[in-house]
Amino acid sequence: MEERRINWKDLYDFVKRVMMRLNVSAEDAEKVADNLVLSNLRGIDSHGVARLQRYVNGIKTGYIIPDAQPEIVKENAVLANVDGHNGLGQVAATFGMELAIKKAKDSGIGMVTVFNSNHYGFAGYYPLMALKHDLIGISMTNAAPLVVPTFGKNALFGTNPIAVSAPTKKNKPWVMDFATSVVPRGKIEVYNRLGKELPEGWATDETGHVTRDPARVLRNLAEQLGGGILPLGGAGELYGGHKGYGLGVMVDLFSAVLPGSNFGPFVVTKKDGKTQFPRVGHFFMAIDPDYFVGKEEFKERMDQYIDILKNSEKAEGENRIYVHGEKEFEEHERREKNGVPLDAKTVESLTKISQEYGEEIKFLD
């Protein structure tokens, strides 16, 4: 198979139809499609439709219940704890973020945790929802264990991302969205496909030493032989690896320890050879700046901060300082116009799904 391009609307439609074939309601299928396709539009291909096969497998294997509906189990005016009932992550997460937004509009802040969920797509999706209401948005999720703690040998927690958004008036909104590890697993996979050595300090091998061999890291992770991805800040404490390790645990704390979901090494779909619910946990928050400095003033202040960062002097040899979210908004515009590029592996997996479910997929070229 070769690389292809596809119109985002056709891609959205395909994902929706496939989900519906798997007993997902039209409404919920749209949530999954919107999340995956927006990830591709924004250039975050690791969390886009490349994941569709895993969702299909999850439903077929039984650890994702396609028609499960989220349920509020505790709630007051500003907070809620939601049981995802092991359904699609996007369904429980969209429900959670919408609830946080509603509470923030009514009371200034809304904080919602979700337990018993699954992979929820790209973390930035949910803060982007808050922007539509001129709110600050926050989202975190835990994930399958891939990251080693400082001085540890085994991967004990996930790449646990943090995403935060802030509305602006003139500039594109500020949207930060990243794994709390040095890199996400997808980056190691890219190096492996290209046959390139890893930069020193991304990952460790089964002895706990830093390794530059991407194939070894991926095999060790898949077979749980030890080693894994290093936390942001790298190996040891010299460059602040303990800080990334702390952030990873912090995301688990808010996303899973607090709501009562699986945390750390327990976020797995298989135990003793048997399939189980991974019970992923999420955290969502929305804040209305009107309860603080004021909505308009907040947006103007964000613009001012962004302008200062972007217009400040560049380091020698550099010609641009980015602000968070900027690259993604630009990519979104390009891909909306020119189509979404899909790598050969993703084209292959989508074609296979297309054949399996008899749902046509139309590429641009």
Scan residues 288-317 and list those touching a second copy (CB under 8 A).
289, 291-294, 297-298, 301-302, 305, 308-309, 312-317
Contact 237, 150 (CB under 8 A): yes
Q: For residues 131 and 340, which CB has a smaller minimum distance to a second copy in the complex?
A: 131
Q: Could you tell me if 89 and 280 are in contact, meaning their C-beta atoms sit under 8 angstroms apart?
A: yes
Q: Which is nearer to a second copy, 88 or 323 (CB)?
A: 323
**Residue 321 in contact with a second copy, rule: CB under 8 A:** yes
**Binding-site member from 14, 63, 263, 277 for a second copy (CB under 8 A):** 263
Confirm or reject binding of residue 76 to a second copy (CB under 8 A). Answer: yes
Show the CA angle centred on residue 270, arms to residues 264 and 272, nearest 5°.
Answer: 100
Strand partners, 162: 140, 178
Within residues 78-97, the interface with a second copy by CB under 8 A covers: 78-79, 81
CB 305, min distance to a second copy, A: 6
Cβ closer to a second copy: 8 or 239?
A: 239
Is 183 a binder of a second copy (CB under 8 A)? yes
Residue 111 token pair = 């904080």
d(CA 256, CA 283): 8
Regarding 287 and contact with a second copy (CB under 8 A), the answer is yes
CB atoms within 10 A of CB 113: 25
Q: How many residues bind a second copy (CB under 8 A)?
A: 84
Q: Cα separation of 309 and 283, whole Å?
A: 29
**What minimum distance in Å lies between the beta carbon of 75 and a second copy?**
9
At closest approach, how far in Å is the CB of 289 from a second copy? 6
DSSP code for 197: P
Tokens 């590890």 appear where?
A: 181
Interface of this chain with a second copy, residues 104 to 123, rule: CB under 8 A: 107-109, 111, 113, 115
Give me 202's structure tokens.
């991304």
Total count of residues recorded for the chain: 365
Q: Does 253 bind a second copy (CB under 8 A)?
A: yes
Query: Does residue 177 contact residue 124 with C-beta atoms inside 8 Å?
Result: yes
91 versus 148: smaller Cβ distance to a second copy: 148
Residue 218, interface with a second copy (CB under 8 A)? Answer: no
Strands (E), 19-84: 71-75, 79-83
Per the structure block, which two tokens stand in for 320? Answer: 């641009």
Q: Is 186 in the site for a second copy (CB under 8 A)?
A: no
By CB under 8 A, name the one of 1, 46, 69, 176 that touches a second copy: 176
Q: Is the CB of residue 303 less than 8 Å from the CB of residue 179?
A: no
Q: Which of residues 29-58 bind a second copy (CB under 8 A)?
A: none
* 289 contacts 280 by C-beta, under 8 angstroms: no
Minimal distance, residue 296 CB to a second copy, in Å? 12
User: Judged by CB, which is closer to a second copy: 55, or 263?
Assistant: 263
140 binds a second copy (CB under 8 A): no
Site string for a second copy, 144-163 (x = CB under 8 A): ----xxxxxxx-x-------
CB of 302 to a second copy, least distance (A): 6
Q: How far apart are CA 167 and CA 289, in angstroms?
A: 9
Q: How far is the CB of 170 from a second copy (least distance, A)?
A: 15
Q: Is 234 in the site for a second copy (CB under 8 A)?
A: yes
Buried b (16+ CB within 10 A) or exposed e, 158-192: bbbbbbbbbbbeebbbbbbbebbbbbbbebbbebb
